[in-house]
Structure 1
Amino acid sequence: MNAQIWVLGGTGRSGRTIAAQLARLGLKAVLVGRDANRLHTAAQSSGSATLLVPSLAAAAAEIRQQRPAVVVNTVGPFTTTAPEVVIDGCRAAGSHYIDLANDVAALSAVYEMHDAATQAGHTLVTGAGFGVTATESVVAKLCEGRPVPLRVRVDMVPSIAMEEGIAGEALIGTLLGSLDGRRITDGRLAPARIFSDAMRLTLPDGSQVTTASMPSGELLAAHRASAARHVLSATSEAPSSPLIRAMMPALSTLMRWERLRSFTTRHLARVRVKAKARPREHSWGHALVTWTDGETREGWLRLGDAQEFTGAVPAEIARRLLAGEGRPGAFTPAALFGPTLAESCGAAYLLPRRGRR
């Protein structure tokens, strides 16, 4: 096995950000992609090497042959690219695997490969982006040394500077994968109305946002970090329009049809996004934890641009895996390295409130 860190989808925004963060850590990435010109341009800014492949299947074949130490997958939709293609290649090569997935189905698929990864002696890390890492880290921090709580609510409040370009299948796949309403009820994944449970949050800087339920990968990560009987995940990115919220149950049902979902993902992925400054100075991960005796603890994780954090997290995880600091199996970031990982990536905890309700 060689000591290289491969970044699949290296020409995309996430791939380029991860490569830049690896360079900051003194590590050189190998950017893997299908477009030679875009690979060359992306590699110049971070001093990365490149590997031109015609398809993801070809990339998996190269992983088997060249056996890089760590593979970072930024290519969505992750329910398709992770277990069926890339992770199989990593298992055969003994390579560690990291992805940016943030939907229930994708995280569940990786979790199901825990035993196989343990037997193979390699590490799988899913959810290595802003949403999962920010919220599960706050939950882990609040629950340190505490009994199992009764109830947990997590809220992600991203602030991202948008660059002009196409939306991409990773983003669209994650969004569509979050339309099927879910929450943890009595310790089990259960149906729930999407974009319900709206809450007006006052952020530590005094500004306010409204969040509403959306069952992204944070739901599973928060449940595993706390073992709480009831867990809800929410986001400030939930639409505020009553009409759109009313349409969501019907749209969720339609998106269960695999052909329609694949068609929609491919076409929405081509939509062009306009450049836009980030809406606030900080991004936030938030958690509210309640115990059976009525005690509540509320905490925040403060960071800058959520996209930059999404680059820093997999880069730091790759550095640690390269240094032999991981362990075999399937994990989310804080489950593997604890809540201090987020601080290593530039975030800070604010844990101001404690009381009874």
Structure 2
Amino acid sequence: MSAEVWILGGTGRSGRAVAAELARRGVPTVLVGRDESRLAAAAGPGGARTMVAASLDDAAAQIRRQRPEVVVNTIGPFTATAGVVADACPGHYLDLANDVAAVGATLARHDAAVAAGRTLITGAGFGVTATESVVVKLCEGRPRPLRVRVDMVPSIAMEAGVLGDALAATILDGLPGVEGGGRFQGRRIVDGRLAPARVGGDPMRLTLPDGTGVTTASMPLGELLAAQRASGARHVVAASSEVPSGGVARALMPVVLPLLNWRALREFARRRLAAVRVAAAGRPREHSWGHAVVTWADGEVREGWLRLGDAQDVTGAVPAEAAGRLLAGAGRPGAYTPAALFGAELAEACGGSYLLPVS
């Protein structure tokens, strides 16, 4: 196999962020995409090698033929792309998935990856890494807790442009094939099993360590599975500051979301969402945060935070750091989320700082 890292979706914002971090680490990189001119612009003079692939199947065929050691998949929706790319990889695979369906499907490949001697990493972006890392730190050297709640609070500078088909499809993809509830319901973990939950439920007003406030609410995120696996807790809730949490939004969601089961309406919504134009904007706050509250059966409660920079920069740094470690032979066969494989210090290597209770 060639000691290179291939980035699928190399012209997108996340792909470019990963490529920049790999270049900073001196790792040989190949940008893979559909548009030759955009690839050349993303690579820059004397930058990464580029490869044009007209489709996902074409990219998979090139992976089988050229056998890169590590492939980073940044192309959503990951429910559609992760399996195709992971199956094509002769070496290690990473993706940026952050939904229950895609993260769960990749983690379910653990035994097959062990048998093949390959490492699969899913959730190698801001949300999963920021939250599960805090859970790992809070649970170090302690018995299995009873309850865990994780909250992600990203701060990200917005680039001007349209939302795009891939992101729109990811947002509207729902939870096909995920046990525990309907396609357009949320999820939580109750008694160790996925169970239905209201999207935008469990609102919580958090005071961030910098003194500012934010409200988070539940969302069926990959953090849910990562936090449960990191802690072994029987009850888990995952929440985000990006979920509308006002009273009107909470009242409308149970009415609006079931309508997405109608395919024609869902396709209409996807097209309209993909065409939404986003204006350039600065970060809403200085830091991004991962947060967790862990409760044990004896009543002990521990709360912790992970302070990070721009969430998009983190989403570039995590897969780059993980890919570099895989190239160095630091991984192990199986399917994992980032902190489950490399420990809580991975986030520190990506610029994070923990704020934890004194033991």
Mapping for residues 287-306 of structure 1, pairs under 5 Å? 287-306=292-311
Provide the rounded CA distance (Å) in 2 between the counterparts of 1:165 and 1:61.
31
The question of 1:81 aligning with 2:115 is answered no
1:281 matched to 2:280: no
Structure 1 residues 182, 201: CA separation in 2 closer, same or farther (over 3 Å shift)?
same
CA distance in 2, matches of 1:353, 1:86: 43
| Pairwise CA distance, 1:152 | 0.3
Q: Secondary structure at the match of 1:69?
A: strand
Secondary structure of the structure 2 residue equivalent to 1:255 = helix
Aligned length: 350
Change (3 A) 1:166 1:46: farther
1:203 aligns with 2:202: no
Q: List runs of 5+ in structure 1 lacking aligned partners.
A: none
* TM-score with structure 1 setting the length: 0.94
- Is 2:201–2:245's contact at 8 Å kept on the other side of the alignment? no
Partner residue in 2 for 1:310:
315
Whole-angstrom CA distance in 2 between matches of 1:32 and 1:7: 6
1:220-235 maps to which residues of 2 (within 5 A)? 220-235=225-240
CA shift in 2, pair 1:131/1:174, >3 Å: farther
Structure 1 segments of 4 or more deviating over 6 A? none
Write the mapping of 1:182-261 to structure 2, written as runs, cut at 5 A: 182-256=187-261, 261=266
Quick one: distance in 1 between partners of 2:187 and 2:122?
A: 19
Q: Return the alpha-carbon distance in structure 2 between the equivalents of residues 102 and 259 of structure 1.
A: 25
Q: Which residue of 2 aligns with 1:138?
A: 134
Alpha-carbon shift at residue 250 of structure 1 (Å): 3.1
CA distance in 1, matches of 2:3, 2:268: 38
Hey, what does 2:179 align to over in structure 1?
Answer: none
Residue equivalent to 1:123: 119
Q: Report if aligned partners of 1:300, 1:350 keep a CA contact under 8 Å in 2.
A: yes
Alignment of 1:28-39 (within 5 A): 28-39=28-39
1:174 Cα offset (Å): 3.9
Counterpart of 2:48, as a letter, is S
CA gap 1:115/1:241 in 2 versus in 1, 3 angstroms: same
- C-alpha distance in 2, partners of 1:257/1:224? 34
User: Can you give the 5+ residue segments of structure 2 that lack an aligned partner in the other structure?
Assistant: 176-183
Question: Which secondary structure does the structure 1 equivalent of 2:114 belong to?
Answer: helix
- The RMSD of aligned alpha carbons is 1.7
- Alpha-carbon distance, 1:261 to partner: 4.4
Asked if the contact 1:20/1:46 (under 8 Å) is kept, the reply is no
Give the distance between the partners of 2:272 and 2:114, measured in 1 at CA.
Answer: 38
Cα distance per residue 1:169-208 (max 9 Å; x no partner): 4433443347521100011000011111111101001111
SS in 1 for 2:282: coil
Post-superposition CA distance 1:216-265 (Å, at most 9, x none): 11001000000101100111111134222222123332334567546644
What is the CA–CA distance in structure 2 between the aligned matches of 1:266 and 1:100, rounded to whole Å?
23
| Letter of the 2:291 counterpart | H
Match of 2:157 in 1: 161
Kindly provide the amino acid, as one letter, of the partner of residue 10 in structure 1.
G
TM-score after normalising by structure 2: 0.93
Is the Cα contact below 8 Å between 1:153 and 1:231 reproduced in 2? yes
Counterpart of 1:340 in structure 2 is: 345
Paired position in structure 1 for 2:70: 70
Query: Is the aligned partner of 1:328 residue 2:333?
Result: yes
Q: Contact 1:78–1:170 (CA<8 Å) still a contact in 2?
A: no
Partner of 2:51: 51
SS in 1 for 2:132: helix
Q: Is the 8 A contact 2:203 2:245 kept in 1?
A: no
